[in-house]
Protein backbone atom coordinates (compact mmCIF):
# COMPACT_ATOMS: atom_id res chain seq x y z
CA UNK A 1 0.00 0.00 0.00
CA UNK A 2 1.32 3.45 -0.98
CA UNK A 3 1.22 5.51 2.22
CA UNK A 4 1.95 8.70 0.37
CA UNK A 5 -1.15 8.70 -1.82
CA UNK A 6 -4.88 8.62 -1.11
CA UNK A 7 -8.09 8.93 -3.11
CA UNK A 8 -10.65 11.36 -1.72
CA UNK A 9 -14.27 11.43 -2.85
CA UNK A 10 -16.34 14.44 -1.73
CA UNK A 11 -14.57 17.77 -1.59
CA UNK A 12 -17.12 19.77 0.38
CA UNK A 13 -16.10 21.70 3.51
CA UNK A 14 -14.81 18.66 5.45
CA UNK A 15 -13.37 16.86 2.42
CA UNK A 16 -11.50 19.92 1.21
CA UNK A 17 -10.04 20.61 4.68
CA UNK A 18 -8.92 16.97 5.02
CA UNK A 19 -7.37 17.12 1.52
CA UNK A 20 -5.28 20.14 2.53
CA UNK A 21 -4.33 18.49 5.83
CA UNK A 22 -3.20 15.36 3.94
CA UNK A 23 -1.17 17.37 1.43
CA UNK A 24 0.41 19.42 4.22
CA UNK A 25 1.67 16.11 5.57
CA UNK A 26 3.27 15.00 2.31
CA UNK A 27 0.40 12.76 1.17
CA UNK A 28 -0.72 13.42 -2.38
CA UNK A 29 -4.46 13.51 -2.95
CA UNK A 30 -6.33 12.15 -5.95
CA UNK A 31 -9.67 13.92 -5.62
CA UNK A 32 -13.13 13.67 -7.10
CA UNK A 33 -16.30 15.59 -6.40
CA UNK A 34 -19.68 15.30 -8.11
CA UNK A 35 -19.68 18.96 -9.13
CA UNK A 36 -16.50 20.14 -10.83
CA UNK A 37 -15.86 23.50 -9.13
CA UNK A 38 -14.37 22.24 -5.78
CA UNK A 39 -12.02 19.88 -7.68
CA UNK A 40 -10.82 22.68 -9.95
CA UNK A 41 -10.28 25.08 -7.02
CA UNK A 42 -8.11 22.54 -5.18
CA UNK A 43 -6.12 21.83 -8.35
CA UNK A 44 -5.39 25.56 -8.72
CA UNK A 45 -4.22 25.88 -5.11
CA UNK A 46 -2.21 22.64 -5.01
CA UNK A 47 -1.02 21.92 -8.56
CA UNK A 48 1.83 19.59 -7.50
CA UNK A 49 0.17 17.40 -4.87
CA UNK A 50 -3.47 17.32 -5.97
CA UNK A 51 -4.64 15.24 -8.92
CA UNK A 52 -8.03 16.36 -10.20
CA UNK A 53 -10.39 13.63 -11.40
CA UNK A 54 -13.79 14.06 -12.93
CA UNK A 55 -15.09 10.49 -12.89
CA UNK A 56 -14.90 7.59 -10.45
CA UNK A 57 -13.05 5.56 -13.07
CA UNK A 58 -10.40 8.23 -13.48
CA UNK A 59 -9.93 8.38 -9.71
CA UNK A 60 -9.42 4.62 -9.48
CA UNK A 61 -7.02 4.59 -12.45
CA UNK A 62 -4.88 7.35 -10.97
CA UNK A 63 -4.29 5.46 -7.73
CA UNK A 64 -1.59 2.84 -7.35
CA UNK A 65 -2.89 -0.53 -6.13
CA UNK A 66 -3.90 -1.59 -3.58
CA UNK A 67 -5.90 1.62 -3.36
CA UNK A 68 -6.80 3.63 -0.30
CA UNK A 69 -9.92 5.77 -0.79
CA UNK A 70 -11.59 8.00 1.79
CA UNK A 71 -15.00 9.42 1.14
CA UNK A 72 -16.54 12.42 2.80
CA UNK A 73 -20.14 12.41 1.58
CA UNK A 74 -23.40 12.82 3.51
CA UNK A 75 -24.60 9.75 5.43
CA UNK A 76 -27.25 7.51 3.90
CA UNK A 77 -27.88 7.02 0.19
CA UNK A 78 -24.90 9.12 -1.00
CA UNK A 79 -22.57 6.59 0.71
CA UNK A 80 -24.22 3.63 -1.04
CA UNK A 81 -24.15 5.54 -4.35
CA UNK A 82 -20.43 6.31 -3.90
CA UNK A 83 -19.60 2.66 -3.23
CA UNK A 84 -21.69 1.49 -6.21
CA UNK A 85 -19.97 4.01 -8.52
CA UNK A 86 -16.44 3.05 -7.39
CA UNK A 87 -16.92 -0.71 -7.17
CA UNK A 88 -16.52 -1.65 -10.86
CA UNK A 89 -13.03 -0.10 -10.85
CA UNK A 90 -11.80 -1.56 -7.55
CA UNK A 91 -9.74 -4.70 -6.92
CA UNK A 92 -9.28 -7.11 -4.00
CA UNK A 93 -7.10 -5.59 -1.29
CA UNK A 94 -8.34 -2.03 -1.87
CA UNK A 95 -9.43 -0.14 1.23
CA UNK A 96 -12.47 2.12 1.44
CA UNK A 97 -13.00 4.50 4.36
CA UNK A 98 -16.29 6.26 5.08
CA UNK A 99 -15.38 9.40 7.02
CA UNK A 100 -18.95 10.67 7.46
CA UNK A 101 -21.45 10.25 10.27
CA UNK A 102 -22.95 7.00 8.97
CA UNK A 103 -25.22 4.85 11.11
CA UNK A 104 -23.08 1.96 12.38
CA UNK A 105 -25.46 -0.79 11.24
CA UNK A 106 -25.27 0.65 7.69
CA UNK A 107 -21.47 0.46 7.93
CA UNK A 108 -21.72 -3.20 8.95
CA UNK A 109 -24.07 -3.95 6.05
CA UNK A 110 -21.63 -2.32 3.61
CA UNK A 111 -18.73 -4.29 5.05
CA UNK A 112 -20.67 -7.51 4.49
CA UNK A 113 -21.68 -6.53 0.96
CA UNK A 114 -18.02 -5.90 0.01
CA UNK A 115 -16.60 -8.98 1.73
CA UNK A 116 -16.82 -11.30 -1.29
CA UNK A 117 -14.98 -8.75 -3.49
CA UNK A 118 -12.03 -8.70 -1.06
CA UNK A 119 -12.46 -4.96 -0.47
CA UNK A 120 -11.73 -3.81 3.09
CA UNK A 121 -14.22 -1.32 4.47
CA UNK A 122 -13.74 1.02 7.42
CA UNK A 123 -16.22 3.29 9.13
CA UNK A 124 -14.09 6.17 10.33
CA UNK A 125 -15.67 8.56 12.80
CA UNK A 126 -14.08 11.97 12.31
CA UNK A 127 -14.60 14.78 14.78
CA UNK A 128 -13.43 18.36 14.96
CA UNK A 129 -15.46 20.22 12.36
CA UNK A 130 -13.82 22.17 9.55
CA UNK A 131 -10.94 23.46 11.66
CA UNK A 132 -10.19 20.02 13.07
CA UNK A 133 -10.22 18.46 9.60
CA UNK A 134 -7.70 21.04 8.47
CA UNK A 135 -5.40 21.16 11.48
CA UNK A 136 -5.88 17.72 13.02
CA UNK A 137 -9.11 15.89 13.80
CA UNK A 138 -9.76 13.07 16.24
CA UNK A 139 -10.45 9.88 14.31
CA UNK A 140 -12.24 6.66 15.23
CA UNK A 141 -11.57 3.94 12.62
CA UNK A 142 -13.49 0.67 12.89
CA UNK A 143 -13.20 -2.27 10.52
CA UNK A 144 -11.05 -5.29 9.68
CA UNK A 145 -8.05 -5.43 12.04
CA UNK A 146 -5.82 -7.06 9.42
CA UNK A 147 -6.13 -4.01 7.14
CA UNK A 148 -5.63 -1.35 9.83
CA UNK A 149 -1.84 -1.27 9.64
CA UNK A 150 -2.11 -0.11 6.01
CA UNK A 151 -4.16 2.99 6.86
CA UNK A 152 -2.58 3.71 10.25
CA UNK A 153 0.38 5.83 9.01
CA UNK A 154 -1.90 8.11 6.98
CA UNK A 155 -4.44 8.54 9.78
CA UNK A 156 -1.73 9.17 12.38
CA UNK A 157 -0.06 11.74 10.12
CA UNK A 158 -3.14 13.94 9.89
CA UNK A 159 -4.70 13.41 13.35
CA UNK A 160 -4.55 15.88 16.22
CA UNK A 161 -2.10 14.95 18.93
CA UNK A 162 -2.17 15.14 22.71
CA UNK A 163 1.20 15.04 24.47
CA UNK A 164 2.79 13.64 21.30
CA UNK A 165 0.18 10.86 21.08
CA UNK A 166 -1.98 10.85 17.91
CA UNK A 167 -5.70 11.23 18.53
CA UNK A 168 -6.54 8.15 16.51
CA UNK A 169 -6.51 4.47 17.42
CA UNK A 170 -7.94 1.27 16.03
CA UNK A 171 -11.39 1.16 17.64
CA UNK A 172 -12.56 -2.35 16.82
CA UNK A 173 -14.25 -4.50 14.18
CA UNK A 174 -17.54 -3.99 12.36
CA UNK A 175 -19.31 -0.69 12.81
CA UNK A 176 -17.57 0.12 16.10
CA UNK A 177 -15.80 3.24 14.72
CA UNK A 178 -19.07 4.82 13.68
CA UNK A 179 -20.75 3.66 16.89
CA UNK A 180 -18.07 5.41 18.96
CA UNK A 181 -18.52 8.57 16.88
CA UNK A 182 -22.31 8.37 17.30
CA UNK A 183 -22.08 8.27 21.10
CA UNK A 184 -19.37 10.96 20.99
CA UNK A 185 -22.06 13.10 19.39
CA UNK A 186 -24.62 12.04 22.00
CA UNK A 187 -22.22 13.30 24.66
CA UNK A 188 -21.60 16.41 22.55
CA UNK A 189 -25.36 17.19 22.54
CA UNK A 190 -25.50 16.70 26.33
CA UNK A 191 -22.42 18.84 27.01
CA UNK A 192 -23.89 21.59 24.83
CA UNK A 193 -27.27 21.37 26.55
CA UNK A 194 -25.70 21.44 30.03
CA UNK A 195 -23.83 24.64 29.11
CA UNK A 196 -27.06 26.08 27.67
CA UNK A 197 -28.84 25.33 30.96
CA UNK A 198 -26.15 27.03 33.03
CA UNK A 199 -26.37 30.00 30.66
CA UNK A 200 -30.15 30.09 31.14
CA UNK A 201 -29.79 30.11 34.91
CA UNK A 202 -27.05 32.73 34.90
CA UNK A 203 -28.95 34.90 32.44
CA UNK A 204 -31.47 35.62 35.20
CA UNK A 205 -29.12 38.08 36.85
CA UNK A 206 -26.03 38.33 34.62
CA UNK A 207 -25.30 39.97 31.29
CA UNK A 208 -23.87 37.88 28.46
CA UNK A 209 -20.48 39.52 29.01
CA UNK A 210 -20.58 38.57 32.70
CA UNK A 211 -21.48 34.97 31.82
CA UNK A 212 -18.62 34.91 29.30
CA UNK A 213 -16.21 36.09 32.00
CA UNK A 214 -17.41 33.33 34.35
CA UNK A 215 -17.05 30.67 31.67
CA UNK A 216 -13.56 31.92 30.87
CA UNK A 217 -12.68 31.63 34.53
CA UNK A 218 -14.10 28.07 34.76
CA UNK A 219 -12.22 27.26 31.59
CA UNK A 220 -8.92 27.90 33.30
CA UNK A 221 -9.44 25.03 35.73
CA UNK A 222 -10.59 21.42 35.72
CA UNK A 223 -13.78 22.25 33.80
CA UNK A 224 -11.78 23.33 30.75
CA UNK A 225 -13.34 22.19 27.49
CA UNK A 226 -13.43 23.21 23.87
CA UNK A 227 -17.22 23.70 24.08
CA UNK A 228 -17.04 25.92 27.17
CA UNK A 229 -14.32 27.99 25.51
CA UNK A 230 -16.26 28.59 22.31
CA UNK A 231 -19.36 29.43 24.38
CA UNK A 232 -17.45 32.25 26.10
CA UNK A 233 -16.50 33.57 22.65
CA UNK A 234 -20.12 33.31 21.47
CA UNK A 235 -21.39 35.23 24.53
CA UNK A 236 -18.99 38.10 23.79
CA UNK A 237 -19.74 38.36 20.08
CA UNK A 238 -21.51 41.52 18.97
CA UNK A 239 -24.15 41.64 16.24
CA UNK A 240 -22.56 43.10 13.06
CA UNK A 241 -25.97 44.75 12.46
CA UNK A 242 -25.54 46.72 15.67
CA UNK A 243 -28.19 45.13 17.92
CA UNK A 244 -25.88 44.27 20.80
CA UNK A 245 -25.17 40.64 21.59
CA UNK A 246 -25.40 38.44 18.47
CA UNK A 247 -26.55 35.50 20.61
CA UNK A 248 -29.68 37.41 21.66
CA UNK A 249 -30.60 37.79 17.98
CA UNK A 250 -30.58 34.04 17.24
CA UNK A 251 -33.89 32.13 16.97
CA UNK A 252 -34.35 29.82 19.98
CA UNK A 253 -34.78 26.58 17.96
CA UNK A 254 -32.07 23.90 17.81
CA UNK A 255 -31.54 21.56 14.86
CA UNK A 256 -29.70 18.25 14.50
CA UNK A 257 -28.55 15.79 11.87
CA UNK A 258 -29.56 12.63 13.72
CA UNK A 259 -26.55 11.22 15.59
CA UNK A 260 -27.93 12.31 18.98
CA UNK A 261 -31.25 10.66 18.19
CA UNK A 262 -29.51 7.43 17.15
CA UNK A 263 -27.59 7.48 20.43
CA UNK A 264 -30.85 7.64 22.36
CA UNK A 265 -32.38 4.91 20.21
CA UNK A 266 -29.37 2.65 20.75
CA UNK A 267 -29.45 3.26 24.49
CA UNK A 268 -33.09 2.15 24.54
CA UNK A 269 -32.31 -0.86 22.37
CA UNK A 270 -29.45 -1.84 24.67
CA UNK A 271 -31.73 -1.23 27.69
CA UNK A 272 -29.03 1.02 29.08
CA UNK A 273 -29.87 4.23 30.92
CA UNK A 274 -28.26 7.05 28.95
CA UNK A 275 -31.07 9.37 30.05
CA UNK A 276 -29.03 12.58 30.08
CA UNK A 277 -27.98 12.01 26.46
CA UNK A 278 -31.59 11.38 25.52
CA UNK A 279 -32.73 14.45 27.51
CA UNK A 280 -30.35 16.61 25.47
CA UNK A 281 -31.76 15.34 22.19
CA UNK A 282 -35.35 15.84 23.43
CA UNK A 283 -34.51 19.38 24.58
CA UNK A 284 -33.64 20.18 20.96
CA UNK A 285 -36.89 18.54 19.80
CA UNK A 286 -38.96 20.60 22.27
CA UNK A 287 -37.30 23.81 21.09
CA UNK A 288 -38.86 23.11 17.68
CA UNK A 289 -42.43 23.07 19.06
CA UNK A 290 -42.75 26.75 18.22
CA UNK A 291 -46.55 26.86 17.89
CA UNK A 292 -47.10 25.12 21.20
CA UNK A 293 -44.46 27.22 22.91
CA UNK A 294 -46.09 30.44 21.77
CA UNK A 295 -49.55 29.21 22.89
CA UNK A 296 -48.45 28.63 26.46
CA UNK A 297 -48.13 31.95 28.17
CA UNK A 298 -45.93 32.40 31.18
CA UNK A 299 -48.35 32.24 34.12
CA UNK A 300 -46.02 32.71 37.04
CA UNK A 301 -43.73 35.67 37.25
CA UNK A 302 -41.63 35.20 40.33
CA UNK A 303 -38.47 36.98 41.32
CA UNK A 304 -35.46 35.95 39.22
CA UNK A 305 -33.48 32.91 40.25
CA UNK A 306 -30.30 33.94 42.03
CA UNK A 307 -27.68 31.29 42.47
CA UNK A 308 -24.08 31.58 43.52
CA UNK A 309 -22.09 31.00 40.32
CA UNK A 310 -19.88 28.55 42.23
CA UNK A 311 -22.94 26.46 43.14
CA UNK A 312 -23.84 26.32 39.46
CA UNK A 313 -20.26 25.49 38.59
CA UNK A 314 -20.26 22.50 40.92
CA UNK A 315 -23.66 21.36 39.67
CA UNK A 316 -22.39 21.67 36.09
CA UNK A 317 -19.31 19.59 36.90
CA UNK A 318 -21.35 16.75 38.40
CA UNK A 319 -23.72 16.85 35.43
CA UNK A 320 -20.74 16.43 33.09
CA UNK A 321 -19.49 13.44 35.06
CA UNK A 322 -22.88 11.79 34.66
CA UNK A 323 -22.88 12.60 30.91
CA UNK A 324 -19.50 10.89 30.41
CA UNK A 325 -20.22 8.00 32.74
CA UNK A 326 -23.44 7.26 30.83
CA UNK A 327 -21.76 7.74 27.43
CA UNK A 328 -18.87 5.43 28.33
CA UNK A 329 -21.36 3.06 29.91
CA UNK A 330 -22.98 2.77 26.49
CA UNK A 331 -19.57 1.93 25.00
CA UNK A 332 -19.00 -0.72 27.65
CA UNK A 333 -22.44 -2.20 27.10
CA UNK A 334 -22.16 -2.17 23.28
CA UNK A 335 -18.68 -3.69 23.47
CA UNK A 336 -20.11 -6.68 25.34
CA UNK A 337 -23.23 -6.91 23.16
CA UNK A 338 -21.31 -6.86 19.85
CA UNK A 339 -18.01 -8.46 21.11
CA UNK A 340 -15.98 -5.42 20.03
CA UNK A 341 -13.47 -5.51 22.87
CA UNK A 342 -13.37 -1.70 23.06
CA UNK A 343 -10.49 -0.11 24.94
CA UNK A 344 -12.47 2.52 26.86
CA UNK A 345 -9.42 4.20 28.37
CA UNK A 346 -7.88 4.43 24.89
CA UNK A 347 -11.06 5.99 23.50
CA UNK A 348 -11.08 8.62 26.28
CA UNK A 349 -7.39 9.26 25.49
CA UNK A 350 -7.97 10.02 21.79
CA UNK A 351 -10.84 12.36 22.73
CA UNK A 352 -8.37 14.63 24.57
CA UNK A 353 -7.64 16.70 21.45
CA UNK A 354 -9.06 17.32 17.98
CA UNK A 355 -12.70 16.47 18.70
CA UNK A 356 -15.64 18.63 19.71
CA UNK A 357 -15.85 17.13 23.24
CA UNK A 358 -12.12 17.53 23.96
CA UNK A 359 -11.70 18.60 27.58
CA UNK A 360 -9.43 18.31 30.58
CA UNK A 361 -11.80 15.85 32.26
CA UNK A 362 -11.00 13.19 29.64
CA UNK A 363 -7.50 12.89 31.05
CA UNK A 364 -8.95 11.89 34.43
CA UNK A 365 -11.53 9.61 32.79
CA UNK A 366 -8.86 7.83 30.74
CA UNK A 367 -6.95 7.09 33.98
CA UNK A 368 -10.09 6.01 35.85
CA UNK A 369 -11.14 3.71 33.02
CA UNK A 370 -7.83 1.86 33.38
CA UNK A 371 -8.92 0.88 36.91
CA UNK A 372 -12.58 0.15 36.21
CA UNK A 373 -14.48 0.10 32.91
CA UNK A 374 -17.65 1.35 34.64
CA UNK A 375 -17.05 4.95 35.67
CA UNK A 376 -20.01 4.84 38.06
CA UNK A 377 -18.20 2.14 40.04
CA UNK A 378 -15.02 4.13 40.60
CA UNK A 379 -14.12 5.69 43.97
CA UNK A 380 -13.51 8.89 42.03
CA UNK A 381 -17.17 9.04 40.89
CA UNK A 382 -18.46 8.22 44.38
CA UNK A 383 -16.36 11.02 45.84
CA UNK A 384 -17.50 13.53 43.22
CA UNK A 385 -21.09 12.55 43.84
CA UNK A 386 -20.77 13.01 47.61
CA UNK A 387 -19.08 16.38 47.25
CA UNK A 388 -21.13 17.90 44.43
CA UNK A 389 -24.63 16.47 44.82
CA UNK A 390 -25.84 19.15 47.31
CA UNK A 391 -24.99 21.87 44.77
CA UNK A 392 -26.79 20.08 41.94
CA UNK A 393 -29.83 19.62 44.18
CA UNK A 394 -29.80 23.31 45.12
CA UNK A 395 -29.67 24.35 41.47
CA UNK A 396 -32.53 22.05 40.48
CA UNK A 397 -34.63 23.16 43.46
CA UNK A 398 -34.17 26.74 42.35
CA UNK A 399 -34.85 25.95 38.70
CA UNK A 400 -38.09 24.14 39.56
CA UNK A 401 -39.22 26.96 41.82
CA UNK A 402 -38.54 29.58 39.17
CA UNK A 403 -39.72 27.59 36.14
CA UNK A 404 -36.35 27.39 34.41
CA UNK A 405 -36.20 24.20 32.35
CA UNK A 406 -32.95 22.31 32.92
CA UNK A 407 -33.62 18.81 31.57
CA UNK A 408 -30.05 17.51 31.43
CA UNK A 409 -28.99 18.77 34.85
CA UNK A 410 -32.30 17.59 36.29
CA UNK A 411 -31.78 14.22 34.59
CA UNK A 412 -28.31 13.96 36.12
CA UNK A 413 -29.74 14.62 39.58
CA UNK A 414 -32.57 12.12 39.08
CA UNK A 415 -30.11 9.45 37.94
CA UNK A 416 -27.83 10.05 40.93
CA UNK A 417 -30.85 9.91 43.24
CA UNK A 418 -32.04 6.69 41.60
CA UNK A 419 -28.63 5.09 42.13
CA UNK A 420 -28.59 6.18 45.75
CA UNK A 421 -32.18 5.40 46.66
CA UNK A 422 -32.88 2.21 48.70
CA UNK A 423 -36.38 1.96 47.24
CA UNK A 424 -37.36 2.90 43.68
CA UNK A 425 -40.94 1.69 43.77
CA UNK A 426 -40.03 -1.16 41.43
CA UNK A 427 -41.54 -3.55 43.99
CA UNK A 428 -44.89 -1.87 43.37
CA UNK A 429 -44.43 -2.03 39.57
CA UNK A 430 -43.83 -5.78 39.86
CA UNK A 431 -46.92 -6.17 42.03
CA UNK A 432 -49.02 -4.22 39.51
CA UNK A 433 -47.65 -6.33 36.63
CA UNK A 434 -48.47 -9.46 38.56
CA UNK A 435 -51.95 -8.18 39.48
CA UNK A 436 -53.14 -7.50 35.94
CA UNK A 437 -51.01 -9.90 33.94
CA UNK A 438 -49.68 -12.63 36.25
CA UNK A 439 -46.15 -11.54 35.28
CA UNK A 440 -44.79 -12.83 38.63
CA UNK A 441 -42.42 -11.24 41.15
CA UNK A 442 -39.59 -12.30 43.40
CA UNK A 443 -40.04 -12.26 47.18
CA UNK A 444 -37.14 -10.75 49.13
CA UNK A 445 -34.62 -13.48 49.94
CA UNK A 446 -35.87 -15.86 47.27
CA UNK A 447 -34.64 -16.60 43.74
CA UNK A 448 -38.02 -17.97 42.71
CA UNK A 449 -40.53 -16.04 40.65
CA UNK A 450 -44.05 -16.38 42.04
CA UNK A 451 -47.57 -15.29 41.22
CA UNK A 452 -50.07 -14.09 43.81
CA UNK A 453 -53.84 -14.15 43.35
CA UNK A 454 -54.31 -10.46 44.16
CA UNK A 455 -57.99 -10.00 43.31
CA UNK A 456 -59.31 -12.91 45.27
CA UNK A 457 -57.35 -12.02 48.33
CA UNK A 458 -58.88 -8.52 48.42
CA UNK A 459 -61.70 -8.53 50.92
Where do contacts with ligand 6PG occur on this chain (CB under 6 A)? 101, 127-129, 185, 188, 256-257, 259-260, 355-356
CA distance 16 to 89: 23
DSSP conformation class of 304: P
Please, are residues 138 and 127 in contact by the beta-carbon 8 Å criterion?
Answer: yes
Query: Could you count the other beta carbons within 10 Å of the beta carbon of residue 349?
Result: 22
Q: Which of 400, 190, 194 is nearest to 316 (CA)?
A: 194
Beta bridge partners of 395: none
Selected catalytic residue, list 181, 191, 197, 203: 181
In the complex, the smallest distance separating the C-beta of residue 158 from ligand 6PG, rounded to whole angstroms, is 15
User: Which residues, 6 or more positions from 85, have their beta carbon under 8 angstroms from its beta carbon?
Assistant: 56
* Shorter beta-carbon distance to ligand 6PG: residue 121 or 281: 281
In the bound state, the residue with its beta carbon closest to ligand 6PG is 127
In the complex, the smallest distance separating the C-beta of residue 162 from ligand 6PG, rounded to whole angstroms, is 16
* Shorter beta-carbon distance to ligand 6PG: residue 101 or 208: 101
CA distance 148 to 189: 30
Q: Which of 114, 96, 25, 109 is nearest to 59 (CA)?
A: 96
User: Which residues, 6 or more positions from 352, have their beta carbon under 8 angstroms from its beta carbon?
Assistant: 162, 167, 358, 359, 362, 363, 366
* Shorter beta-carbon distance to ligand 6PG: residue 98 or 188: 188
Instruction: Output the 3-class SS for 338-377.
Output: HCCCCCHHHHHHHCCCCCCCCECHHHHHHHHHHHCCCHHH
* Shorter beta-carbon distance to ligand 6PG: residue 31 or 99: 99
* Shorter beta-carbon distance to ligand 6PG: residue 51 or 326: 326
In the complex, the smallest distance separating the C-beta of residue 343 from ligand 6PG, rounded to whole angstroms, is 20
Please, are residues 387 and 222 in contact by the beta-carbon 8 Å criterion?
Answer: no
In the complex, the smallest distance separating the C-beta of residue 13 from ligand 6PG, rounded to whole angstroms, is 11
Please, are residues 8 and 51 in contact by the beta-carbon 8 Å criterion?
Answer: no
In the complex, the smallest distance separating the C-beta of residue 312 from ligand 6PG, rounded to whole angstroms, is 24
In the complex, the smallest distance separating the C-beta of residue 259 from ligand 6PG, rounded to whole angstroms, is 5
CA distance 401 to 301: 11
Q: Which of 220, 242, 222, 249 is nearest to 232 (CA)?
A: 220
Q: Give whole-number Cα distances, 357 to 66, 131, 191, 342, 421, in Å.
A: 35, 14, 8, 19, 31
In the complex, the smallest distance separating the C-beta of residue 185 from ligand 6PG, rounded to whole angstroms, is 5
The phi, psi pair for 394, rounded to 5°, reads -65, -40
Q: Is position 188 annotated as part of the catalytic site? A: yes
In the complex, the smallest distance separating the C-beta of residue 368 from ligand 6PG, rounded to whole angstroms, is 23
* Shorter beta-carbon distance to ligand 6PG: residue 129 or 346: 129
Selected catalytic residue, list 4, 77, 156, 188: 188
* Shorter beta-carbon distance to ligand 6PG: residue 67 or 284: 284
Strand, helix or coil at 389?
helix
- Rounded to 5°, the CA angle 150-152-153 comes to 95
In the complex, the smallest distance separating the C-beta of residue 255 from ligand 6PG, rounded to whole angstroms, is 6
Q: Give whole-number Cα distances, 347 to 125, 130, 135, 216, in Å.
A: 12, 22, 20, 27
* Shorter beta-carbon distance to ligand 6PG: residue 324 or 441: 324
Q: Is position 197 annotated as part of the catalytic site? A: no
CA distance 238 to 148: 47
* Shorter beta-carbon distance to ligand 6PG: residue 6 or 355: 355
* Catalytic sites, residue numbers: 181, 188
Amino acid sequence: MNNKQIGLVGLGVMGRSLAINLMNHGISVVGYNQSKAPTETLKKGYPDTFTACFTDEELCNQLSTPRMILFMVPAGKPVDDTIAALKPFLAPGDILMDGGNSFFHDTERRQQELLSSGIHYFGVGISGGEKGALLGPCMMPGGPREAYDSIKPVLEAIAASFEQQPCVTYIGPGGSGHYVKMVHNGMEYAEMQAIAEVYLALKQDHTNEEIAALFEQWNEGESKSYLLGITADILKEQDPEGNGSLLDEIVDVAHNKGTGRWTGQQALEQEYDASVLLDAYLARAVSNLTDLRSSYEVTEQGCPLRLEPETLHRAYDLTRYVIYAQGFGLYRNASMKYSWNLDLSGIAAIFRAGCIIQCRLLDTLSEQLKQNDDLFMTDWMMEQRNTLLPSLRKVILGSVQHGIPMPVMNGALTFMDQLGSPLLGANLIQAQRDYFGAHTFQRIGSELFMHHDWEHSIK
